[in-house]
Amino acid sequence: MYIVTGGAGFIGSNLVRALLDRGHDNVVVVDDLEDGHKFVNIADLGIADYLDKDDFLERLSSDAAFGSGIKAIFHQGACSATTEWDGRYMMKNNYAYSQTLLHHCLDNKIPYIYASSAAVYGGARQFIEDPLFEGPLNVYGYSKLQFDRYVRRVAADAASQVVGLRYFNVYGPREQHKGSMASVAFHLNNQVLADGEARLFEGTDGYGDGEQERDFVYVDDVCAVNLWFLDNPAVSGIYNAGTGRAQTFNDVANAVLAWHGKGKIRYIPFPDHLKGAYQSFTEADLTQLRDAGCDVEFRPVEKGVKDYLDQLCGTQQH
């Protein structure tokens, strides 16, 4: 069986779908459905079983047969709110839980592919998988970085696969439950539907209005990277998962407006609470990913947003 933690979440549910599309009918979702709205992400997926995240840990520790039957664990579960400042909760949920799964996988030689984040780089100008470029701006980014550090220390010479994927700005279907943490494409689409305008932040950190740049990556491409590592169990390490090309928020807004064939952009003041804790530029360096042999092609914003809105709103333009 394949275990996907956070399997009712955004990236996790898309990964579950990708595994099922491959013909795997033994996919188990692990999540926390305290927010029951997330059920819609897995309602259409023929999973083998669902387990609460705490029950899953109990079964791992008490049921050896369950452990030996796992072909791989895709650990996508985490608190991904970059605005959450409860560090105790963040470290328990994102760091300690990840450690427990890591050691189970190492002990049982189970491939372990987990979600890291580009948030580990903070305000860096280069995004290379090296401690020299790491410096998170929030406790979420720190929780991800500290686990990457732990992996480097305890799993450097592991007998089984351990892969960390530093996701950049992922967007795509099945993210509607994320609220304020959903992608800019999701929010801009809702704004255009509601009142015909896409709202972006005014300039900051030396960038013009809407000209802040991020590496926006479509969720299907992220899933393809995960599956590439599943197919290549001899490859381990920590890798960036982005397009390798920064694009502006204006690019995203214009792609949304182009899909709808209407609307305009309006710039709003940059929020005070984000000053000093905001990445105005991200761009994945893909050197190490390509050197590992991963040949997944990443679609640009113009193509990804179209693919997204085709699914989200239907194939007929408004």
Distance from C-alpha of 56 to C-alpha of 161, rounded to nearest angstrom: 21
pLDDT at 268 over 60: yes
pLDDT range class, residue 67, cuts 50, 70, 90: low
pLDDT tens column, 16-36:
999 999 999 899 999 999 989
pLDDT of res. 121: 95
pLDDT of res. 213: 95
Higher pLDDT: 147 or 81? It is 147
The percent of residues in the chain predicted with pLDDT above 70, rounded, is 95
pLDDT of res. 68: 66
pLDDT tens column, 116-138:
999 999 888 999 999 999 999 89
pLDDT of res. 83: 64
pLDDT of res. 82: 63
pLDDT of res. 65: 57
pLDDT at 315 over 70: no
Structure-token match 């059920």, residue found:
39
pLDDT at 240 over 70: yes
pLDDT of res. 86: 78
Higher pLDDT: 103 or 205? It is 103
Positions annotated as catalytic residues are 140, 178
**What secondary structure, in 3-state letters, does the chain show?**
CEEEECCCCHHHHHHHHHHHHCCCCCEEEEECCCCHHHHHHCCCCCCCEEEEHHHHHHHHHHCHHHHHCCCEEEECCCCCCCCCCCHHHHHHHHHHHHHHHHHHHHHHCCCEEEEEEHHHHCCCCCCCCCHHHCCCCCHHHHHHHHHHHHHHHHCCCCCCCEEEEEECEEECCCCHHHHHHCCHHHHHHHHHHHHCEEEEECCCCCCCCCCCEECEEEHHHHHHHHHHHHHCCCCCEEEEECCCCCEEHHHHHHHHHHHHCCCEEEEECCCHHHCCCCCCECCCCCHHHHHCCCCCCCCCHHHHHHHHHHHHHCCCCC
pLDDT range class, residue 278, cuts 50, 70, 90: confident
Tell me the average pLDDT across 238-259.
98
pLDDT tens column, 184-206:
999 999 999 999 999 999 998 89
Which domains are delineated in the chain? Answer: 2-170+219-244 (3.40.50.720), 171-214+245-282+299-313 (3.90.25.10)
Task: Measure Cα distances from 80 to 48, 49, 152, 226, 237 in Å.
Answer: 26, 24, 22, 18, 22
pLDDT tens column, 133-183:
999 989 999 999 999 999 999 999 999 999 999 999 999 999 999 888 899
pLDDT of res. 317: 46
Contact 120/180 with Cβ under 8 angstroms?
no
pLDDT of res. 318: 43
Burial 150-185 (b: 16+ CB within 10 A, else e): ebeeebeeeebbbbbbbbbbbbbbbbebeeeebbbb
For the chain, give the mean pLDDT: 93
